Each structure stands twice: as C-alpha cells, then as structure tokens.
Amino acid sequence: RTLDDLGDVTGKVALVRVDLNLPMQDGHVTDVTRVKASMPTILELADKGAKVLLLAHFGRPKGDRNSTMSLSLVQGAVENVLGREVMFIPEVSGEVAAQAIGILRPGDIGLLENTRFWKGEEKNDPDFAKAIAANADLYVNDAFSAAHRAHATTEGLAHLLPAYAGRAMQAELEALDRALGAPEKPVAAVVGGAKVSTKLAVLEHLVGQVDHLIIGGGMANTFLAARGVDVGKSLCEHDLAATAEKIMDAADKAGCTVHLPYDVVVAKEFAANPPSLRTCNVHEVAADEMVFDVGAQAVEALGDVLKTCRTLVWNGPLGAFETQPFDAATVALARTAAALTKEGSLISVAGGGDTVAALNHAGVADDFTYISTAGGAFLEWMEGRELPGVAALEK
C-alpha cells in the first residue's frame, strides 16, 4: 500500500520512518540527499492534514543516549530542506512524547529522538514498538536504505499499525524492480570497489541474473590473479582466487559474460599523478607496480558492451576514483552510461555510497534513470535477499 491508499488523514498521527543517518563534519550536516528523498512523503502527509512524526536512527549508539548522536543535531538541516518548522521531541514514546504530539496541529511536523537510544530498536522488541505505536494512527516507511535492518521502527511497527510505503520507498522499489526484478534484457552489472570479500554474495547472485558482469576496482585484481595474471603489488585477495574461479565458472554456465580489464593504469606508489604512472596490458604489470584503474582501451570496450544492453545496475567504482587520474575509467564509463540513458536506449540504476560519490564526481548522477541513496540495503538487494523492512510492508 502506498500513500495513494490513504483515506482521510486529517488530524491523524502518521509515524514516518525516514533515513536521517546523514553525514556530518564538525557538527554540520554535509549531505541532505536523504532528507530531500523523503520530502515528497513528508509534505504530502502534512499537506493532507496529518500530524507527521519523523522517526529515524542516527549513528550506532547501541542503546545509549549519546548527545553526539541526538537527532536534534539534524533538526536544522531537515527544516532547511522542508522549508517548514520541525518540532524536536526528545523521546520516541511515553508521556513526554504523547504531550508533545498533543501540541502538534494538523499539518505540523515533529522529529522524534534517535530510535537507537533504546535497546528495543535493534532487538525489534515488540513492547518498544507498541509503546511508539500507542501515540500514532498509521505508519509510513520511507527509508529503503534502512530496510535491511529488522528493527522495531523499520519492521516491527509495520505489524502494529496500518502500514504504507512512502513515495521514496515506492520509487526505490519500482526502480529496483525495473533493474533486476523484471528487467529489459540484455542486462549488464558493473561491480567495483576494493575487495571481493565484501561483495561475494553480490557477485554470486548476479551471475545468474545478468548477461554481462563487469568487474572493476581492486576486486578485479583478485579475478585476474585467479586467471594466472601477476598483478604485482596490487591490492589482491589471493586467498579468494578459488572463489573467484567458482564465480567465473558459474557465470559461464549461466551464460553470463564476465568482463575483466585487459589494460590497466599502474604506478609504483599511490599518489595523485605519480611519476611512475603508466598504462599497460594486464600481463605487463611489473612486480613493484600496483593497479589503480582500468585502462582506456578496456573502458572503450566496456562502453561498447553497454551499447548492446537495455539495463544497467552499477555498484562500486572501477578505480581509486578519489585520486586523479585514477577516476578516469569510472568517469568515462559513467558518461557513456549516462549518454545511453539520455538517448533512451538504457535503463541505468546505481547505488551504494562510493558509487553515488563517483557518479556525482563524473557529473552524471542526474542523468541516470535512478540513483539509490542506500548503502548496505542496496548491496543486500543486489545479493537477492529479502529486506525485512520491505517484506513487512508487503505482508
């Protein structure tokens, strides 16, 4: 059920689970993307006359009140994005919360304290959830990025109150379904990042789902090593060579083509524009060199692969993109994907913290069909796992 299924909500108390786990530096919020994502849901409910209560976690305080993780710290940022006043309520349940909620008028917005200040949140304690639900009439989950957690406010509440998917949740689920649920074929996946070990389950799942699996980043070194390539001093999980082999065998059987770089950008030290920088064939990496990016020829070939595809799912950069010029492959392939998306020949979905940063860096994030704000939840979805927060809404 979505907000389209709401009846009259005038004066009703709507608990809206959002993701306010926002990046902070020196006490200031540095990125409000997640607030912007939930703005349509919050304003829609407020404009329909509900009393909107925002419910979210912040950091990992593990059941202790910790002033450095109070949601009061993000109240100003939320108000700025929404352009409305937001009343901070330093509790999530009980008398104090009930009194504060009583003061709210239809259309007002309240922000409850960090749900993880109470142990019941992560334990998914039904009593904790019941105490929160006692002050409310309905529950809206708009936090896909927290839906991989079976916590009281991401999962438990959906069983206690009439539950709805918010607009951001709805958009996310529709986009993800278009990408892997019922995608237009052929489908390509780009999986990058430093380590195979963090994305094993993703790779294992994807080989049975996609037609082309493009592996980049440090994890490509492990696959190259498994194929007998000497990657010099590169980051490489040699102990996972057999696992990489297995993934490549499974891909073969499933008719999925695995693309590994055949030229690479190498250097003897990791620094911006190092003097030892060069591009070479993967078989020519010297013993004292490290691979930091996919080479230009391979990127061009990968662009040609994308031209044959209808759907793209992207997680993880192709190189050490934060340091120049090791951003080149990620930027080039992202621009090709963005151009194909603009032409209408590709549906492109990307997610994961680094990935969004990399696509922003390439200046193409707005041109992708959909960019997920989720980190861990996006990965678990790519692993083909059921997300408890989503499953509870579907029940």
Binding residues for ATP, by number, are 199, 322, 352-355
CA proximity to 114, closest of 173, 72, 83, 157: 72
145 binding ligand 3PG? (CB under 6 A): yes
* CB neighbourhood size of 231 (10 A): 23
Two tokens at 251? 């891909």
Catalytic residue among 17, 34, 51, 167: 34
Catalytic residue among 49, 107, 376, 384: 376
Total number of residues shown for the chain: 395
Contacting ligand 3PG (CB under 6 A), which of 63, 162, 274, 376? 376
Residue 35: CB minimum distance to ligand 3PG, A: 13
- Nearer of residues 22 and 97 to ligand 3PG, judged by Cβ: 22
CA within 13 Å, CB half, 185:
7
- The answer to whether residue 195 is catalytic is yes
Distance of CA 367 to the CA centre of its chain: 17
Rounded to 5 degrees, φ, ψ at 137 are -110, -30
186 binding ligand 3PG? (CB under 6 A): no
- The answer to whether residue 12 is catalytic is no
375 binding ligand 3PG? (CB under 6 A): yes
Taking CB under 6 A as the criterion, which residues in 38-77 touch ligand 3PG? Answer: 60
Residue 33: CB minimum distance to ligand 3PG, A: 11
Contacts of 357 (CB under 8 A, 6+ apart): none
- Nearer of residues 149 and 167 to ligand 3PG, judged by Cβ: 149
- Nearer of residues 21 and 243 to ligand 3PG, judged by Cβ: 21
- Give the residue numbers of the binding site for (2R)-3-phosphoglycerate: 34, 116, 149
Distance CA 193, CA 95 (A): 47
Distance CA 143, CA 123 (A): 18
115 binding ligand 3PG? (CB under 6 A): no
Sign of CA dihedral 234, 238, 242, 243: negative
* CB neighbourhood size of 270 (10 A): 12
Number of residues that bind ligand 3PG (CB under 6 A): 8
Residue 194: CB minimum distance to ligand 3PG, A: 18
Q: Would you name the residues annotated as active-site residues?
A: 34, 195, 353, 376
Binding-site ranges for ligand 3PG (CB under 6 A):
19, 21, 60, 145-146, 149, 375-376
